[in-house]
């Protein structure tokens, strides 16, 4: 049994890509996309025709609608390959606008349903700002399920749990990147690997808090830099993994054992926490890493969305 097969015993494996031709080989349950992954895909010859077709059919409907159509086109192709759900992201420029996020999410779902896709097969990805979390809470009440992304802090995870969102995506690799950059020459890669990796520790803390207190929101580790981060989170509800790392897992026969489990949280002393808006904003502000990475992530997704729009024009 290779490591990918072993991992699937404990964790739902999700493919993190817009390159749907790569997905079938790894038989993931779900798949996630974002503007950066879609931008990367449409620049490949095998996907360029999708952009051209969408623009030809819907270009006169405005950039927002054309973008929605492109995202749904990719999502629809992915859903032909996987048995589970696809995550489709709302425009990151709406990250601080609850009403606009709700409206855009509903439009995306309408388009999927127009293609015959059931609402339960789509997760709407929304940045884990206070406004985004409030939008997700409203959507969940309406039966539209959400994936709260760009999540870097415990406070964001707590607020998402309170909002009863379907799933969160803590960004393991970007947390690791921040701590490594800040440490500079003092960073000890070996000492900070595996269970000691700051990104891994963040996800473990969130997972344990959710399981200890019966919070149903699914935890999906994301944004991995190496196999050690993945294997250290074996047992997490879901892990979304790039094709390159899926390939490495499939090529490895090294032993892999469960690292996380809900039963182990029963004996843990983990106090219950909850936030109102002011407490959430203060807690997030106190976390320099999360504050910086959230802002940086929104800017990066916006930049790639603008590049996609330029290609549409």
Catalytic residues: 125
Q: How many domains does the chain have?
A: 1
Instruction: Identify the three-state secondary structure at position 260.
Output: coil
pLDDT along the chain (313 residues), means of 10: 97 96 94 94 94 95 96 97 98 98 98 98 98 98 98 98 98 98 98 97 98 98 98 98 97 96 94 98 98 98 96 91
pLDDT of residue 278: 98
Q: Identify the domain containing residue 250 by its residue range.
A: 3-312
pLDDT of residue 135: 98
CATH of the domain at 272: 3.20.20.70
**What span, in angstroms and rounded, lies between the C-alpha atoms of 229 and 221?**
9
Q: What are phi and psi of 245, to 5 degrees?
A: -75, -30
pTM above 0.95, yes or no: yes
**What span, in angstroms and rounded, lies between the C-alpha atoms of 151 and 173?**
11
**What span, in angstroms and rounded, lies between the C-alpha atoms of 122 and 108?**
9
pLDDT of residue 313: 87
Helical axes 63-79 vs 288-312, angle rounded to 10°: 100
Instruction: Identify the three-state secondary structure at position 22.
Output: helix
Rg (CA), the chain: 19
**What span, in angstroms and rounded, lies between the C-alpha atoms of 243 and 312?**
27
**What span, in angstroms and rounded, lies between the C-alpha atoms of 231 and 238?**
12
């Amino acid at each position: 049994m290779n490591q990918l097969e072993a991992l699937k015993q404990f964790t739902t494996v999700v493919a993190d890509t817009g390159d749907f031709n790569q997905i079938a080989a790894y038989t993931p349950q779900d798949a996630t996309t974002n503007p950066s992954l879609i931008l990367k895909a449409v620049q490949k010859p095998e996907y360029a025709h999708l952009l051209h077709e969408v623009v030809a059919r819907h270009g006169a409907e405005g950039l927002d609608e054309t973008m929605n159509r492109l995202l749904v086109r990719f999502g629809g192709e992915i859903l032909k390959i996987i048995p589970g759900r696809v995550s489709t992201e709302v425009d990151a420029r709406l990250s601080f606008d609850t009403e606009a996020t709700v409206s855009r999410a509903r439009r995306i779902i309408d388009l999927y349903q127009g293609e015959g896709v059931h609402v339960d097969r789509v997760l709407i990805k929304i940045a884990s700002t206070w406004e985004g979390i409030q939008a997700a809470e409203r959507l969940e009440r309406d039966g539209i399920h959400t994936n709260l992304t760009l999540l870097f802090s415990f406070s964001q995870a707590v607020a998402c749990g309170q909002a009863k969102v379907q799933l969160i995506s803590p960004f393991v690799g970007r947390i690791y990147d921040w701590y490594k950059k800040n440490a500079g020459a003092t960073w000890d890669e070996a000492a900070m690997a595996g269970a000691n990796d700051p990104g891994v520790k963040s996800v473990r803390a969130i997972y344990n808090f959710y399981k200890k207190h019966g919070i149903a929101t699914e935890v999906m580790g994301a944004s991995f830099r190496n196999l050690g981060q993945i294997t250290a989170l074996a047992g997490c509800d879901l892990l979304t993994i790039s094709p390159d790392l899926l390939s490495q897992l499939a090529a490895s026969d090294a032993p892999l054992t469960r690292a996380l489990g809900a039963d182990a949280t029963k004996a843990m002393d983990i106090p219950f926490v909850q936030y109102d808006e002011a407490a959430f904003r203060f807690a997030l502000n106190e976390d320099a890493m999360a504050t910086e990475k959230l802002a940086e992530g929104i800017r990066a997704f916006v930049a790639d969305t603008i590049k996609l729009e330029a290609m549409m024009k």
